[in-house]
Structure 1
């Protein structure tokens, strides 16, 4: 299942966009206990958040692709994968998706020399993509800060964002004139409220730097304190949170 956890991104085809225009996707990957078929409440919340966001992309709503799997060592893996697919499909239908808008792929995961591939350890994957109108989804490609849109191809119909429109700022005189953005992700298993301490690779706190922290539902922009701490944030889980820090390009 070579697709990242809660990562945004899917290259929409020419058929749906009338041009290879941009990358749009909300994704969830779920790891289940041995033999289990029911997902946790946390996973249900994550799926619900992503569905509610994805259905607002266009007036036509969203489609979902489900990958339901089982490891070869699990009991009756083919039947187990099918049952997992049925269970997640039923939940997506409860959220509001039509059966015709849910595609399910089932497979059995084979071990690699008796070990689980770290990139293929999740038994359920769900991808939400936009349903495009007859005119295509070009407008999504040119909408700043739209959740799920992470890349822009320059074409006649999709020129991309106005230069600099996607660069965040704290409006603070301490912001470097010659800046570059450092990006990383942090995994949150459950939803919680806390401040983060931002540091360099060497462990030195990034004091007084401008940051942007994005969950699937909200973006926080601010300056760290003298110990590198952010404001109090509501981190959503289970999912990855994206952290961007603006630093002087000549200092790091």
Structure 2
């Protein structure tokens, strides 16, 4: 199985320029294709993935930029499309969306011997590149656990490999004792994967954060906004619900597209 290292990501990003995809945009959902993936980072697991790919613009073979979508706790790869309906915005934005099962491991290495973050970087991203032909920088979009994971993985790959991050209703806590049960193995695990300690890297990447005013993660998101003043942080009506996330999907992907075009 091919492994995508930071070096290969940077090489791919360096070799791909921004491509105007206005010619392929329009309304309506695109088909979602799916498959399975095995990873040494989750031994014994068969992971499902789903992909909604934007067509190349007329007269061009350039592949659409990729957004990796990370689901929340209790979710799976299908939630990006079955619940969030993100494929309805693919033609309009000219973006390709890719999601994969991540379990409830908060997208980082855990004591039980799994590492869903490494799975995304080492196994899923190479698969997406093979499926789509896209070789440039990627974006991340996620909600709740996936919002936290999007910030975390973007901080690990850095600005040479990631062009934008959307963290929606992100599961963020300012101290280990405040975190939800099961999110981290212990205090050391929390500290090792604390995105508040990674704002120097994240300040070099465009970050958008949306959170409903009734969401229990408002305190953590407000604190993170202060720690990362470059982030575009919005608090509006809503809670920690699929209805809130679905209603923001279109504007968030339009924002991602603008960040890609500004590179």
TM above 0.5, one fold?
no
* TM-score between the two structures when normalised by the length of structure 2: 0.24
Structure with greater Cα Rg: 1
What's the TM-score once normalised by structure 1's chain length? 0.25
Structure with bigger helix share is 2
Larger fraction in strand: 1
